Chains A and B, each alone.
Chain A
Amino acid sequence: MNCTRRNFLIGGSTTLFLSGFFPKLSFASMQKKNLIIISLRGGMDGLTAVPVIGDKRLKKLRKKLILEDVLKLNSDFGLHPKLEIFHELWQNDKAAFVHATNIPYTGRSHFDGQNLMETGAHIPYKEKTGWLGRGLLASDIVGKGLAISLPMPLLLRGVPQNNNFFPSPDFVETKLIDQIYDEFKGDHNELIKSTLDTIRQRPLSMQIATDSDDKKKLAQEAAKQLKDQSGPRVAVFELDGFDTHAAQGGVDGAHADELEEVNEIVKILYENLGQAFDNTLILTLTEFGRTIKQNGGYGTEHGYGSAILMAGGLLKKSQVYTDWPGLKKKELFEGRDLNSTIDSRAVYNSAMSMCFDKDPEFLRREVFWGDDLPDLTEELFKI
């Protein structure tokens, strides 16, 4: 990598001069805009997904994790060969990446980190709601969240009547649901009551019975609903297994398998959303990146800075958006991790602002306690 950190410093401060926010009310913005978050649990290695090209230090520290056949993005960054759909979309300005980014959490614990990536807060377990849930609530978008998982992810909590979809093996009679609903009327349990409300309002397409192991089918069904103009506006996917302490590998190792799953979901969404893909933004979310150096088991340890993978027609252009901190020992966080120079919450705040047609300043205050998160909407998204 021959560029220096400064060459990459774009955006951020320049946009702070924007004094107001005026959503364009063109025909395009009348279309429902979808925001899809894919949670990558375990700590996604940004340097495996979007490796820097030609960095000698990285090569030296990761002898057993070297990537061959990297897909080329630009002169400085490549893409993991398993992320081929992103590469295809990149050619049409429909994929982009934010690099050297993370939530402002440096503690390296999965559980604290995952809690914070979902709450968007600073102290683990303190907040009981997710930034996406609060963003929806602040934007008056209720009952439009869809989680593709069995438990409701913390990320979506905070706004009532979200749905989750993970088909059961058989049907449940509507009459039974109504009866249980009646029995809970007098109960003090608000959470169950609002959950039962949601169940009663589920669209017919969600009352199917199928094999919930089939991630492909779930993604297809999610795409079908997101395509529906009156369907959900937000969807959350969950993937785990990124915690590759051992046998991380290069092109074919354990981390590659996980990236392949991300690729598969994005591919299915792309193929099934059709035109709606142009009004969709897909972002990944992870708790931290991984150490630069490989460990004794040819894996990597918990680190700090990672990358956000983005896809969808709502992106401004194909780019690797970064304020690259460098990989020299003194440039690393605590001498061991890729640093984070962009608070990833700024990306998520800007994404919500664009997808929900809300002022980023307003969301920043409502969702992130007024934390100092620059507006990146102009740099990253179509507005």
Chain B
Amino acid sequence: MSLNFFRRVAFGLSPIDKKPDDPLPWALSQLNTVPDLLWPGSIPAEKELRKKYGEWVYGDREVLRKKFKNDKNEYKKAKDDLRLKTGERYFELNEHAIRHYQTKFSQQPVFERFWLFWGNHFAISEKDFLAEFSTGPYQREIIRPNMVKTFEEMVHSVTTSWCMIHHLDNSESVGPNSRRGLESRDTINENHARELLELHTVSPSAGYTQEDVIQLAYIMTGWGHKWSRKNLETGDVWFDQEKHQKGEKQVLGVKYKNDAKRELAKVIHDLATHPVCIEFVSTKLCRHFITDEPTVEMINPVIEAWNKSNGNLIEIHKAVIKQAFKYNDTTHKFHPPEIWLMQLSRMFDLNIPLSADRMNYNFKSRPTNRQRQLSWILREIGHSPYRAKQPNGWSDVEADWVSPELLLRRFWFASVELPRLVKSENQLHDFIISCLKNNFNNYESMTSLIHQFRFGTTEKDLGRKFGVICNLPGVLKV
């Protein structure tokens, strides 16, 4: 069996990982439970970070802008101070550390790969201050625990999460015939309804119409943050009957009688169990783990597992892994930059993320360069995970990741930046060879490529070794 299976479904094997005797059962056994987050540093709760978000927007919008309306420079200074005080510059760095620590050390790395998948399926794109305060905890508290439940439960949690609601403006949506709508003549905001159909569940191939989008938006009216003068838009999610569109609704031919907050769970049930949804999401899973253009034969067993288990994600994940195993030696999958970085970090035991101690923050000064390092690397290689440009998240196909600049960024990282992340005890040539041996069947030909640099341990020598090694065809893809 090809060793690349460990990179196909996980992050490769670290120097201390024991090589599994039987790869398939090894992978399948990792999906039954939600592993704890291992990060020894601070892991703040979503609600706590939302409070910080509130302090930041309230402080800026309601206090500073008014206080310094005639003094641009003083305003700027005060705003920068507020950034530090509320951690606006810090929390995303900490979230990246939590995430990468997990993919580096988790004993259920296959689970972690699915975690990345679902976080991107239900992506929060760059908007307002979500990446700064909310997207990370959303990944931890909304996506993660639902990965051992049903897809329907996952969709429901995501749809009613503060982060997604804020991301897709559902709090702005008011039923025109609701009490509020009649009073203020406010109307619906279709954004969330459209993405729930298009991206999260049935996809455009279900053939929904503009009217379906409107009707779903009606059902969703009332679900929003509880606004208050003090918390502004950072209040908890609730259902506001005053904004809810009255009357019967119809989505994709199914009628939903006027039933206030209960309408949402019913329509989510129908969408999440719709055959087109099952096919759409199964295809996406296969694309992520097998190849860009998965065939019907690859996808069908996943659909069957989905139907048989009523959308139980544990069973669905297992079916995907079985297919990934089956097609491991006959398909190729190009990995996006973040997964590539996580794999290099695990395989070569790189010095990222920074230790939890040093990640500690004083809320007084700017985060240090070392604290910012991982996030900076992610951005420079073109894949800052919580800053997708659009709600469809990061692309999962090779063509979107192969461009002169994106490839050059990888060459740059491997040859210039990575050598600075090699621990001093790991600089010996033999260590690098042993890492290659753990992870690549053709490690001998890889070794011969860097043989000429075998005695060098300067940063430049390491750069020459890793520059080539990390960008070989068999490393950029499996």
Contacts and interface: CB of A to CB of B under 8 A. Distances in A.
Contact of A180 (B188, B416, B471): B471
A108 B210 contact: yes
Given A112-B204, A164-B404, A183-B449, 9 more contacts: A108-B194, A111-B390, A147-B403, A152-B404, A173-B464, A189-B477, A191-B399, A296-B174, A296-B189
A172 B415 contact: yes
Nearest to B186: A296
| Top 7 A-B residue pairs of the complex, sorted by shortest distance between their CB atoms | A152-B403, A296-B186, A297-B172, A187-B473, A172-B411, A176-B467, A150-B382
Residue of B172, B174, B391, B404 with highest tally of chain A CB at under 10 A: B404
Interface in A180-208: 180, 183-184, 187, 189, 191-192, 195-196, 198-199, 202
B198 interface: yes
Contact of B399 (A114, A128, A162, A302): A128
Interface of B: 169, 172-174, 184, 186-191, 194, 198-199, 204, 210, 213, 332, 380, 382, 389-392, 395, 398-409, 411-412, 415-417, 449, 464, 467-468, 471-473, 476-477
A202 B204 contact: no
Contact of A111 (B172, B199, B405): B199
A94 B308 CA distance: 64
A326 interface: no
Interface in A126-148: 128, 147
Contacts of A196: 407
A245 B169 contact: yes
B169 A191 contact: no
B382 A192 contact: no
Contacts of A195: 402-404, 407
Contacts of B395: 151
Interface residues of A, number: 53
A13 interface: no
Contact of A168 (B188, B190, B409, B449): B409
Interface of A: 41, 107-112, 114, 124, 128, 147, 149-152, 157, 162-166, 168-173, 176-177, 179-180, 183-184, 187, 189, 191-192, 195-196, 198-199, 202, 240, 245-246, 293, 295-297, 299, 301-302, 334
Contact of B468 (A152, A169, A176): A176
A157 B402 CA distance: 11
A252 B402 CA distance: 38
A297 B233 CA distance: 12
A198 B408 CA distance: 11
A245 B191 contact: yes
B467 A164 contact: no
**Chain A contact surface mostly:** loop
Contacts of A191: 398-399, 402
Contact of A150 (B169, B390, B403, B415): B403
Nearest to B376: A169
Contacts of B412: 168-172
Contacts of A246: 169, 172
Contact of A176 (B187, B411, B477): B411
Contacts of A168: 380, 405, 408-409, 412
A334 B213 CA distance: 14
A176 B402 contact: no
Contact of A183 (B169, B403, B468): B468
Contacts of A166: 405
B404 A150 contact: no
Given A109-B194, A172-B411, A173-B415, A164 B172 contact: no
Contacts of A184: 473
**Chain B contact surface mostly:** helix
Nearest to A188: B332
Contacts of A183: 449, 468, 472-473
B464 A192 contact: no
Contact of B404 (A108, A187, A199, A245): A199
B415 A297 contact: no
Contacts of A173: 415, 464, 467
23 contacts: A107-B210, A109-B194, A109-B198, A110-B390, A151-B403, A151-B406, A164-B404, A170-B417, A172-B408, A172-B467, A176-B411, A176-B415, A176-B467, A179-B449, A189-B332, A191-B399, A192-B407, A202-B404, A245-B191, A296-B188, A297-B169, A297-B189, A301-B191
Contacts of A297: 169, 172, 189
B409 A150 contact: yes
B404 A177 contact: no
B173 A177 contact: no
A169 B412 CA distance: 8
Contacts of B415: 172-173, 176
B189 to A, nearest CB: 6
Contacts of A114: 390
Contacts of B405: 149-150, 164-166, 168
A180 B471 CA distance: 7
A41 B392 CA distance: 13
Residue of B395, B399, B477 with highest tally of chain A CB at under 10 A: B399
A344 to B, nearest CB: 21
Contacts of B190: 108, 301-302
Contacts of A162: 404
A334 B210 contact: yes
A82 B402 CA distance: 36
Contacts of B400: 151
Nearest to A165: B405
A152 B405 CA distance: 8
Contact of A179 (B173, B382, B468): B468
Contacts of A302: 190, 194
Given A150-B409, A151-B406, A192-B402, A295 B172 contact: yes
A109 B204 contact: yes
A111 B392 contact: yes
Nearest to B415: A176
Contacts of A108: 190, 194, 210, 213
Contacts of A301: 189-191
Contacts of B449: 179, 183
B204 A180 contact: no
B296 to A, nearest CB: 17
Nearest to B400: A151
B137 to A, nearest CB: 23
Nearest to A336: B210
Contact of A41 (B186, B389, B472): B389
Contacts of B204: 107, 109, 112, 124
Contacts of B172: 245-246, 295-297, 299
Contacts of A170: 412, 416-417
Contacts of A157: 399
A293 B186 CA distance: 11
Residue of A114, A172, A184, A297 with highest tally of chain B CB at under 10 A: A172
A196 B410 CA distance: 12
Contacts of B189: 245, 295-297, 301
B173 A296 contact: yes
A346 to B, nearest CB: 25
A199 B392 contact: no
Contacts of B472: 180, 183
Contacts of A163: 404
B408 A169 contact: no
Given A108-B210, A164-B405, A177 B191 contact: no
Contacts of B389: 41, 240
A188 B273 CA distance: 39
